[in-house]
Structure 1
Amino acid sequence: MPAIGDVARLAGVSKSTASRALTGRGYVAEETRSRVERAASEIGYIASPAAASLVTGRTKNVGVVIPFVNGWFFGEVLEGIERALLAAGYDLTLYNVAPSGPERARVFDFFLARARVDAVIAVGVDLDGGELAKLDRRDTSVVCLGGRAAGVARISVDDRAVGQLAAEHLLHLGHTRIAHLAGAGAAARPLSVQGERRHGFLDALAAAGLAPGGRADVSECAMTMPGGYVAALQLLGRPGPRPTAVVATCDEVAFGILRAAERLGISVPGDLSVIGIDGHEYAEMFGLTTIEQDPADQGRLAVDVVLRLLGEASVPDPLPDSGAPLPTRLVVRASTARPAR
């Protein structure tokens, strides 16, 4: 079986240089790294992860904790994370975490410890002090994407500004009876993604002099297409004046609203304008006005921050400005228009 010494001789470098080139631990010139990798490939040498871990103290494995595995946004983020980790020579271990309860506790008490990860990327998950302390005891770097945790790097769009922009678009068109289908738990968790978007919506309505419960209506639903569909049937089918426009907390909820309106015989955008948030890949097909973000690029950026924390990025400074919000843009399509006279 080929050994690291065989690789070093073939590449014309020392064993320590060959080891650094193949493990990614420490600086090696790019030309030298390529020569070592070609030599390893030529003789069929495969570095032992266990052996490398003993030498470097690293597992080359990043844990990703995520609340949903079947949502479009989270799938896009995961793809971005996976591509970036593979390019950097890292593995990924995925954990689907519940909002609370024993299953969530087991992830932090047992599974992350057993997997021995170098870092954790929390996607749309708020980590409490106890969970952070457990990761800190294992010297595990943490990056939050969308979620929050005290004292760690955070990557996110400005969800409050996004919710405000969505409502302002409808106000600019002349709508005054505007509803918001917020994500479940938005009121109870005001600093969550859905909570911040709800806040932004209320900010815009307050600035326009429209008080919730009067000409504005806020309710909560699951952040899925079925969740939006069921909630919209209740919102649009009840007696009394119905809203002329709805801000959906995400595009999947907006798709559900469009289907509910169709079932109730409500014309979009003639009788009802609908705006979503996220920039789902199906938004153009549905003609949905939305506020776009780039979840795949956010996943890549999260990995970049992890590599900086681990000292393996080409940029020497430890962290980018994690306080700066990521870019978004309003994309107007056929689902929003001026209200009917």
Structure 2
Amino acid sequence: MIASSIEDVAAAANVSTATVSRAIRGLPRVSPQTRARILAIATEMGYVASSAASGLATGRTRTIGVLAPYVSRWFFSRAIEGVDLVLQQNQYNLMLINLGGYGGGRERLFEHTMLRKQIDALVVLCLALLPSELEHLHLTEIPLIAVGGPVKGFHQVCIDDYQAAKLATQHLIELGHQRIAQVLGEDKNELNFEVPKLRDKAFEETLVNSGLRFRPEWEVDGEFTVAGGVSAARRLFDAPGEQPTAIFCASDEMALGVMMEAQRRGIRVPQDLSVIGIDNHEFSAAAGLTTVAQDPVEQGRLAAEMLLNELAGKADAVRSVAAPFQLVKRGSTAAPLA
């Protein structure tokens, strides 16, 4: 008798597919008796291929998945690096699941591919997930953690994005700037959805609470990229009327784009325009960009360590952690000339 899917094994064992998945992976919350019965049924039905038969002995694939909206952007690539450093040290493999390459195939990814990837745990890099996608992830009953931004129902390792944006905005206000614009990081694919909202809210509320005017026309989208920052700067600089003396950018990549466009137009930074970002991108020091620094490598490393500790049986190893951030003052911000 050959099983065509995990559902066949679940039916034969009279348990849920999630329980079968946990038993085969050797995860907690499955009794020894139930695990032994499921493994015996799976072996009898041929559910586990011969090339992976040794996996039944340990119940583990020694593979951690990383679900990412993109792999080309700085934060995501650095967080993945942090995860991989820990996995290599512990003889685990990394399986990268790049949503940027799936286009309209997300539904199939979550409904079918995720369960059959045979991963022991999953890191989710700051995604906005649909309710159905969250349900499919939780049905796997593997350890889960988010990195870089909140994901509903997950423990997370990330900075307080509201406080980080507030710190950046306050720095400009304390320098004496009153005409402050924002390049925010909206994502047209809605894949990175809570972080830009939190940073946008902090910017607006910090201005208002300081008695300054918030101008919606000075809030432009930069898509979290250098090219997006250049485009946003053009829209701000080409707008009629008075110009801002400072720009808060919700990421360093956008801030670097703003600085490039300012230089192209002969706008001096910081004499004519102060610019601040968030991240501490590897190019920020060379460009002299003032920023609110965070460490995505460390965030990825910590998340991976917690997942491995939970897989090793440590109770409550996966928990939410507030990652540190700090203001790094460089040459791109100064008091306004007038």
Tell whether the 8 Å contact from 2:252 to 2:280 is kept in structure 1 after alignment: yes
Pair 1:25–1:123, CA change in 2 (3 A): closer
The alignment covers a number of residue pairs equal to 292
8 A Cα contact 1:65 1:97, kept in partner: yes
For residues 183 and 163 of structure 2, what CA distance do their matches in structure 1 show? 17
Runs of at least 5 residues in structure 1 that lack an aligned partner in the other structure: 1-22, 27-47
- 1:272 and 1:175 map into 2 onto residues whose CA distance is 10
Q: Per the alignment, in what secondary structure is the counterpart of residue 203 of structure 1?
A: helix
The answer (yes or no) to whether the contact 2:251–2:277 under 8 Å persists in 1 is: yes
Q: 2:330 aligns with which of 323, 330, 333?
A: 333
CA contact (8 A) 2:63 2:95 kept: yes
> Residue 259 of structure 1: SS of its match in structure 2?
helix
Q: Which amino acid aligns with 2:116?
A: R
- Identify which range, 157-166 or 96-105, moves more after superposition: 96-105
**Aligned 1:163-178 pairs, distance under 5 A:** 163-178=165-180
Contact 1:119–1:141 (8 Å) recurs in 2: yes
Task: Name the aligned partner's letter for residue 185 of structure 2.
Answer: G
Determine the structure 1 residue equivalent to 2:140.
138
State how far apart, in whole Å, the 2-side matches of 1:190 and 1:96 are. 13
Instruction: List structure 1 segments (4+ residues) > 4 angstroms apart after TM superposition.
Output: 23-26, 98-101, 188-191
- 2:105 counterpart SS class: helix
Q: For 1:51 and 1:222, how far apart are their aligned partners in 2?
A: 46
What amino acid sits opposite 1:164 in the alignment? K
Per the alignment, residue 35 of structure 2 pairs with: none
Deviation readout 1:142-197 (Å, 9 max, x if unpaired): 111123333321111000001111000000000000001000149x8996111111
Q: Which residue of 1 aligns with 2:316?
A: 318
Map residues 85-164 of structure 1 onto 2, 5 A cutoff. Answer: 85-98=87-100, 102-164=104-166
Percent identity over the alignment? Answer: 38
- Tell me how far apart the structure 1 counterparts of residues 285 and 110 of structure 2 sit (CA, whole Å): 39
Distance 1:332-1:302 versus aligned 2 partners, 3 A rule:
same
User: SS state of the match for residue 218, structure 2?
Assistant: strand
Structure 2, unaligned stretches of length 5 or more?
1-24, 29-49
Q: Residue 70 of structure 2 is aligned with which of 68, 71, 75?
A: 68
- The equivalent of 1:246 in structure 2 is 247
Deviation at 1:268, TM superposition (A): 0.4
What is the CA distance between 1:305 and its match in structure 2?
1.9
**CA offsets, 1:106-131, max 9 Å, x none?**
22123222311111110121333322
CA contact (8 A) 1:279 1:291 kept: yes
Whether the 8 Å CA contact 2:144–2:155 is kept in 1: the answer is yes
Q: Where does residue 264 of structure 2 map in the other structure? A: 263
Pick from 190, 202, 205 the counterpart of residue 203 of structure 1: 205
Report the CA distance between 1:317 and its aligned residue.
Answer: 3.8
Change (3 A) 1:236 1:100: farther
Separation of aligned partners in 2, 1:294 and 1:57:
34
Whole-angstrom CA distance in 2 between matches of 1:151 and 1:292: 27
TM-aligned CA deviation for residue 98 of structure 1: 4.6
Give the aligned CA root-mean-square deviation in angstroms.
Answer: 2.6
1:289 is aligned with what amino acid?
A: T
TM-score by length of structure 2 reads 0.80
* Partner in structure 1 of residue 306 of structure 2: 305
